[in-house]
Amino acid sequence: MTMITRRTLVGTGTALAAAGALTGPALLDWAKAWAQAAPWKPEKGAALSLLRWKYFVQSEDDQFVKLIDAFTKATGVKVAISRESYEDVQPKASVAANTGAGPDMFWGLYSLPHLFPQKCVDMTDVADYLGKKYGGWVESAQKYAMNGKKWIAIPICYSGNMLNYRLEASKKAGFSKFPTKTDEFLEYAKAMKKNNTPGGFALGHASGDGNAWVYWCLWAHGGNVVDKSDKVTINSPETEKALVYAKQIYENMIPGTAAWNDASNNKAFLAGEINWTDNGISIYVAAKKDPTKTNIAKDMDHAVWPVGPVGKPTELHLMYPIMAMTHTKYPQACKALIAFMLESDQFNKWLEESQGYLTHCLNAYDKNPIWTADPKNTIFGEAGKRTLTAGGLGSVGEKAAAAIADFVVLDMFASFCTGREDAKGAIKIAERQLQRIYR
């Protein structure tokens, strides 16, 4: 397979950024040369439609539009981009899979391709090409993108979901650094509430922030949705311990989190209503750019999730796989675009413009300067290597995809924390739902 290098594509006369990222005319020149040498030749008259998740960092989307524009100018393939919230990408992808009509490509969350693996174009050649060129894929990304030995999607990136917290409020509550253990974190939440500087985690249908914290809590206490053979094991003393712990955290949160979606905690943090939450780096990015919020940017930092009784990290970061649907008339154009998106000469710039919101899945991008430019960015670059998958101990397949898409675990935590169900009742409801999914 052709290996495309910077020298063979743009020649020695092109000025390149230190990170290997191209901009403006240089990006277009590189894109044209790339299109000539790339293994995938778009079909005659190809035009693509792509539905992606709605951005949280404006500069990320701006750079994405630029790379799409460069691809179009280089190949002649027009790409229509539409954007939806996390929650809306999955049902629209499912409708397209069932009807055989709709966007050519979907860029969504977690195990989305595994909801309809037979409707995804085989991307093994693209994955092999990129993996060999860029130092291999992180293990968790491979699990999300592969069905058996076949790649049914390409893992574009993660979004690291870390703890965001206010520094001065934490110090006043008696914490010079963010807690590293779950018992310490509970004391932190209590102390912060006592000082009228509470925090909050989403308990509504928040695909990113809500799922991230309840899965962390479940796993941190030794609970699991399924075992290694995909047998449902949610009904356990460990799950009950996780629920009891979560309710204690909930009782020290700001009121109203049971109705929060993925945007709610961002707004509350930037409004000064909460002082700790889980999120990507987007709160920090927004605070730095808003002249009225720079005080928040200076007075906040990020931390990895506290370790629970299991004694090891149990984090769930947001995976963003992209897939091409088998109903597309232009599979070669889809493959060309997806490969183009992850080539270093523009992906490095895209990472930088995302300001840490996107985290790479290919090992070569560990060296991108965004991870060292600001110490508050650094831990986000580790998300792909730290994360577990949405399948937990079990497989990352259609069943795990259905469980997280249906908010089974999140609803279990919400129903107990808000008092709608006792622990055993909440677990039983989740168990029945999971047994239907995993039967």
Which CATH number do you get for residue 52?
3.40.190.10
Classify residue 151 by its DSSP letter.
Answer: E
260 vs 87: CA distance, rounded Å = 13
Q: Are residues 248 and 277 in the same domain?
A: yes
Integer CA distances (angstroms), 4 to 74, 152, 266, in order: 15, 24, 41
Indicate the number of domains in the chain.
2
119 Rama sector, left if φ>0, alpha if ψ -120 to 50, beta otherwise: alpha
Residue 28 is predicted with a pLDDT of 83
Q: Are residues 173 and 260 in the same domain?
A: yes
Range of the domain at 284: 162-315+406-437
Residue 393 lies in a domain: no
Q: Are residues 323 and 226 in the same domain?
A: no
Q: Are residues 133 and 266 in the same domain?
A: no
Q: Are residues 87 and 234 in the same domain?
A: no
Residue 72 is predicted with a pLDDT of 96
Q: Are residues 286 and 377 in the same domain?
A: no
Q: Are residues 67 and 210 in the same domain?
A: no
Q: Are residues 234 and 298 in the same domain?
A: yes
Residues composing the chain: 439
Residue 371 lies in a domain: yes
Can you read off the two tokens belonging to residue 179? 């807690």
Find tokens 């580790």 and name the residue.
Answer: 382
Helix ranges restricted to H, 251-291: 264-270, 282-289
51 vs 46: CA distance, rounded Å = 17
pLDDT per residue as tens, the chain (439 positions): 333 343 333 332 223 333 455 667 787 888 899 999 999 999 999 999 999 999 999 999 999 999 999 999 999 999 999 999 988 999 999 999 999 999 999 999 999 999 999 999 999 999 999 999 999 999 999 999 999 999 999 999 999 999 999 999 999 999 999 999 999 999 999 999 999 999 999 999 999 999 999 999 999 999 999 999 999 999 999 999 999 999 999 999 999 999 999 999 999 999 999 999 999 999 999 999 999 999 999 999 999 999 999 999 999 999 999 999 999 999 999 999 999 999 999 899 999 999 999 999 999 999 999 999 999 999 999 999 999 999 999 999 889 999 999 999 999 999 999 999 999 999 999 999 999 999 9
Helix ranges restricted to H, 342-397: 344-354, 370-373, 383-386
Residue 12 lies in a domain: no
Residue 380 lies in a domain: yes
Q: Are residues 174 and 138 in the same domain?
A: no
Residue 75 is predicted with a pLDDT of 96
Residue 8 lies in a domain: no
Q: Are residues 322 and 310 in the same domain?
A: no
Residue 200 lies in a domain: yes
Q: Are residues 263 and 410 in the same domain?
A: yes
Residue 257 lies in a domain: yes
For residue 2, the surrounding DSSP H or E stretch is: none
User: Would you call 196 exposed, middle or buried from its count of C-beta atoms within 10 A (0-12, 13-18, 19+)?
Assistant: exposed
Q: Are residues 200 and 127 in the same domain?
A: no
Residue 177 lies in a domain: yes
Q: What pTM value is reported for the model? A: 0.90
